[in-house]
Structure 1
Amino acid sequence: MLKLLLMLMLFGVAYLIQAVLYEKYGMKSVSYRCHFDREEVTEGDCFLLIEEIENRGFLPLPWIRSEYAVSQNLDFAGAHSTVTGGTRFVSSLFFLRSRSRIRRQWHVRALLRGEYTIEKVLLVSSDLFGTARSSMSAEDAGGVLVVLPKCYETEMPLLHSFNRTMGDEPVRYSFVNDPALLAETRIYTGYEPLRRIDWKTSARMGVLMVRNEEPVQNQKICICFTIQKSEFGRRYVSEDVSEHTVRVMAELFRQFTNQMLSFQVQSNCTVHGEFFSMMCDGSPAGYLRLLRNLSALDSEPDEMLRNCVTIPNGVRLILVAPYLSEDIRRLKAEHPSADVILTSPCETDDMNFIPIYEEVETDETE
């Protein structure tokens, strides 16, 4: 009996000592980092989420669980996760010996464009007996993952008309003259540059003649788009159609960039709190900036498109929308020559309306 009491006392003392040690030093020497292996991907791409945990102390940790939250649009393969209210909660379990380090990789797939972060990272552990639990928040949760929209690869009938009509056009005055467009020849006065002398005409006329070149300027393109799903309190298209509109915009930007066309983009959608508006010079860098803005685009604008855009005179106007709303009808009435790209079915005889849509169901609920 005495031996039993002695053993119980020793066990109680050992339990108290380890409980105090784990409470004071258990999580003190633990460092944790969770981050993506890339900063930028495209919709549908697979990448890695990396967890790195290290125990620099002398106490082994029988178990330690990491818990963090990400968007439901990041699909984890093989991870223990649950989705609640648009947020995916992921947990991972580790056993850490003293002075050891573990690196774990999760395969993740980006389902939808956007800017994503790892949030609410929490580490939970306990002592050897699993009775005294302790927790801590991790400070390093990686940076921002930018998921660019995927281009909806399709033929753009609109581009054929641009191939015929876009480029340089003669104007009454410009700072730039086109040497390929000859307006007339006249007698050399001594003030013109020698490169403008027309030697063949000079030999035929017997006096020095110079070329008068046609002043030109580039035709301008203005793209105004919206991805709004509802109007006057009624929802007309689904979230899928709205996102399809973004992918059509990405493809339109790509094809314009391939033709090195400069264009202006305006929208009633916001990017980081400001209405989307920018100029693109037709360069790959400008195209990448457009895609990054599309990735951060709000999916439900608060203002009508016609109240948020300024359309200059003399531009080739392109309107892009998920459906033919009253807002688009009014803009079309104000600019009859505008081309309209709709990403859901629409019955119209107007040749300027271009349907580019997928076979998806529309949501017509009130």
Structure 2
Amino acid sequence: MGAYWILLIAAVVIVVQGKLFKRTALKRLNYSRSFKVSTCYEGDSVELIEIIENRKALPVPWLRVESQFRSGLAFDNQLNLDISEGQFNQNHKSFFSLLPWTKILRRHRIIAKRRGLYKLGTVSMTTGDLVGMESIVQSKTLSGGIIVYPMPMDVSDMALPVQTWMGEMLVRRWILEDPFLISGIREYRDGDPLKDIQWKATARTGTLQVHRRDTTADSRLLIYLNIEDHEQMWSKATRPEPIEYGIRLAAGITAHLLSQGMEIGMGTNGTLGEDSTDEAFVPVAGGMTQQHLIFEMLARLELIRKASFHDYLAHELSRHEEARDILILSTYVSPRLEEMFQRFRDNGHTIQVFPLGDVPTPAKEVSA
């Protein structure tokens, strides 16, 4: 009889503790993780902070935490972190046991191997009772993430077409009258606005005189990146190397020319993620904010075409009313594209093409 009661009591205890832990194990159990920075460059080392906190009087006998990241972030080897990595994603799994009122903080050192937008995504937490009879699963969607910018190439000593738009050579491209710079007076010509008439000089000379305005340079450049690796590409680039080279090159050109005081804009026929409806275009502007906008677009860029490059340029031509300097980065130039380039030239634009067909030996990288 003694053994019978012991078994009965043990069974009751197992059942009761199983129900108790199933009902309370995930209550007041907090989980969070975040990157210390929101942006970085390819090759940078960053830190991910993970916090698990049991804020109740009962322990958590065991806790399995599972999460997933896109491939491209390399985690340092660490105890209690099992990583299985595939071509596109990596799965993380860790086990914990938490006493009452316990907080665990882990710091993960990560190398950003590849550009991209890395969201924290969803974490799955599984826990249960002392003997594994009962278990409960809870998923938690975390906000935030990190944007890994492409590493800009150093283009300062490269033989690029944009060299003709750098430094003092800028003033030879677009010469415009600056309304704030007045260098004297001259005789009135047909088409001069009446507000420019200098009435005192007119009265003195007896003929209409207007302000003569000084000139300034219109130093603006628009870059178009073609993400097609060949003309007949259907949807996704199968040869990404030259396109990735073009992305780093575009980043280098952007950083260099913005540092020279130019204004830069950029567009591409790629997409900014399968779930994004944002247009892959940044209007022409200057300054560090513009650099971050372009770098973020390049980081998020997926090598999935939204339209053929020919059709994309046709759409772009229709929305540009003023003449622009344009740099094309493309793996190929077909007769159809040549015709499209000529249409741009006929509308007053200048077109220069940098071919991406053969990926050269990696050039120096520049810190932006």
Give TM-score, length-normalised by structure 2.
0.78
227-236 or 67-76: bigger deviation: 227-236
The alpha-carbon deviation at position 104 of structure 1 amounts to 1.3
Give the aligned partner of residue 221 of structure 2: 221
Residues 326 and 162 (structure 1), Cα distance of their counterparts in 2 relative to 1, 3 Å cut? same
- Are residue 6 (structure 1) and residue 5 (structure 2) matched? yes
Structure 2, unaligned runs of 5 or more: 189-196, 202-208, 364-368
2:22 is matched with 23
What CA RMSD, in Å, does the superposition of the two structures yield over aligned residues?
3.4
On the 8 A contact 1:62/1:128 being kept in 2, the answer is yes
2:327 to 303, 306, 318: 318
Residue 361 of structure 2 is aligned to residue 343 of structure 1: no
After superposition, residues 1-366 of structure 1 pair within 5 angstroms as 2-78=1-77, 79-84=81-86, 86-139=88-141, 141-154=142-155, 155-157=157-159, 158-163=161-166, 164-167=168-171, 174=177, 176=179, 178-179=181-182, 191=200, 212-216=212-216, 218=218, 220-233=220-233, 238-271=239-272, 272-308=276-312, 309-310=316-317, 314-325=323-334, 328-334=337-343, 338-345=351-358, 357-358=360-361
AA partner of residue 341 (structure 1):
F
CA 1:26–1:45: 2 relative to 1, 3 Å: same
Q: Does the 8 Å CA contact 2:171/2:216 hold for their aligned counterparts?
A: no
Q: Distance in 2 between matches of 1:170 and 1:150?
A: 31
Is the CA contact 2:165–2:219 (under 8 Å) kept in the aligned structure 1? Answer: no
Structure 1 residues 18-27 or 308-317, which shifts more?
Answer: 308-317
* C-alpha separation in 1, matches of 2:303 and 2:174: 41
State whether residues 268 and 275 of structure 1, in contact with CA within 8 Å, keep that contact through their aligned partners in structure 2.
no
Q: Secondary structure at the match of 1:265?
A: strand
Q: Once the two structures are superposed, what CA deviation does each residue of 1:310-329 show, in whole Å capped at 9, x if it has no partner?
A: 25564322111234455544
Change (3 A) 1:359 1:222: closer
Q: Distance in 2 between matches of 1:227 and 1:236?
A: 7
Aligned-pair CA distance for 1:170: 7.7
Larger Rg: 1
Question: Residue 138 of structure 2: SS of its match in structure 1?
Answer: strand
SS of corresponding position for 2:154: coil
CA distance in 1, matches of 2:286, 2:198: 40
CA separation in 1, counterparts of 2:336 and 2:298? Answer: 21
SS of the counterpart of 2:269?
A: strand
User: SS where residue 57 of structure 1 aligns?
Assistant: coil
> What whole-Å deviation, never above 9, does each CA across 1:219-242 have from its counterpart, x for those lacking one?
543322222224324798622221
State the alpha-carbon separation in 2 of the partners of residues 159 and 183 from structure 1: 36
Tell me how far apart the structure 1 counterparts of residues 16 and 110 of structure 2 sit (CA, whole Å).
42
**1:288-342: CA deviation from partner (whole Å, max 9, x where unpaired):** 1111122222312131223222255643221112344555444445457622112
Paired residue total: 332
SS in 1 for 2:91: strand
Output the amino acid matched with 2:21.
Y
Specify whether residues 263 and 14 from structure 1 end up closer, same or farther in structure 2 by C-alpha distance, changes over 3 A only.
Answer: closer
CA distance in 2, matches of 1:57, 1:116: 33
Task: State whether residues 263 and 285 of structure 2, in contact with CA within 8 Å, keep that contact through their aligned partners in structure 1.
Answer: yes
Instruction: Tell me the amino acid that sits aligned with residue 249 of structure 1.
Output: A
Counterpart Cα distance in 1 of 2:361 and 2:344: 27
Q: CA deviation at 1:146?
A: 1.5
Aligned-partner Cα distance in 1 for 2:174–2:68: 58
Aligned-partner residue type, residue 126 of structure 1? G
CA distance in 1: counterparts of 2:303 and 2:335, whole angstroms: 19
Secondary structure of residue in 1 paired with 2:302:
coil
CA separation of 1:101 and 1:153: change in aligned 2, threshold 3 A: same
Q: Percent identity?
A: 18
Distance 1:170 1:227 in 2: 30
Whole-angstrom distance in 2 between the partners of 1:138 and 1:114: 23
CA contact (8 A) 1:151 1:247 kept: yes
Question: C-alpha separation between the residues in 2 aligned to 1:77 and 1:179?
Answer: 62
Structure 1 CA distance for aligned equivalents of residues 310 and 102 of structure 2? 61
In structure 2, do the counterparts of structure 1 residues 236 and 66 end up closer, same or farther at CA, with 3 Å as the change threshold? closer
Unaligned runs of 5+ in 1: 193-208, 346-355, 361-366
